[in-house]
Amino acid sequence: MRVLITGGAGFIGSNVVRECLARGWAVTVLDNFTTGYRENLPSDANLRSIDGDIRDASAVDNALGGVEAVFHLAAAVGNVRSIEDPREDSEVNVLGTIRVLEGMRRSGTRRLVMSSSAAIFGEPRRLPIDEAHPTEPDSPYGVSKLAAEKHCLCYGRLYGWQVTCLRYFNVYGVNQRYDAYGNVIPIFATRLLRDEPLIVYGDGEQTRDFVDVEDVARANRCALEAGISGPFNIGSGVATTINELAALIQSCAGRSATVRHDPARPGEVRRSVADLAASRRSLAYTPEVDLRRGLGRYFTWLRSLDRAVQ
């Protein structure tokens, strides 16, 4: 089987690439390499890489040649970034997604796994968050991912496609670079290796559901193989406070740092943890990597990068 992975050179996308190649599938990657890295892609005879943007219909059509299924991961990511530039956020996440869907319609490709986000929920009314939870996003990013998800599910109903939308919680792991826009684990880890203080926004008692990218990549493959349409949560099912994360990340790295508290940032929820009952039941998805083990593996990878300690 040949699959297309949009954003395949990115953090999550590159891990999905490896998961698919390990399955023996032929993989086409479409990426404009603005946030993706060519070195994230392995050298493999079954891998074809195309330099292009999902907003470019001709690039999408080219990438879809001979493709039986699409993993759509290309996106503008981050709450803070979306607040600073909501137009770019929606152009990529909404209009870019429509370009992919229209390309699939033209090519006859009928299977799609779309990467959505827990940001669509906003501040939760109940915990854990299940798929039926109200969607009231608190940032343009959450709004654009919700719109993209709705477009994908709509196309699935219109044309009889298999469409699975995976609502990721806080993904971390190998190939995730430092990002000043809010990916807390690479920020903490990189600052720790540089002997810089860890900055916690607010009191640090806000909770997040951290899930290792290896589990997320496996969830993508499980979603395609399950043959079931609909939205599903992908997380660890464990709530961790940012204060707990700061302590654990120092323990895993074997070094200490000053922890500084700055004012809370707008557009960020107070509590978050996934209900995984539906994804366990329908996708056979069960998280396997706990946070301590995942952080240990992440530090091993991060220390291999010269840029991590510069």
Q: In this structure, what DSSP letter does residue 69 have?
A: E
Residue 290, classed as helix, strand or coil, is: coil
Contact present, 119 and 145 (Cβ < 8 Å): yes
* Tokens linked to 125: 């009314």
Contact present, 169 and 235 (Cβ < 8 Å): yes
**CA distance linking residue 151 with residue 140, whole number of Å:** 16
Contact present, 52 and 59 (Cβ < 8 Å): yes
Contact present, 79 and 117 (Cβ < 8 Å): no
Contact present, 174 and 168 (Cβ < 8 Å): no
Buried b (16+ CB within 10 A) or exposed e, 217-252: bbbbbbbbebebbebbbbbbbbbbbbbebbebbbeb
Q: Find, among 213, 211, 218, 195, the residue nearest to 291 by Cα.
A: 211
Helix (H) or strand (E) holding 233, with range, is strand 230-234
Residue 274, classed as helix, strand or coil, is: strand
Say which of 141, 155, 172, 285 is annotated catalytic.
141
Task: Confirm whether 141 is a catalytic residue.
Answer: yes
Q: Find, among 60, 48, 55, 61, the residue nearest to 9 by Cα.
A: 48
Contact present, 119 and 136 (Cβ < 8 Å): no
Give the rounded distance of the alpha carbon of 251 from its chain centre. Answer: 26
Contact present, 66 and 41 (Cβ < 8 Å): no
Q: Which residues are catalytic?
A: 141
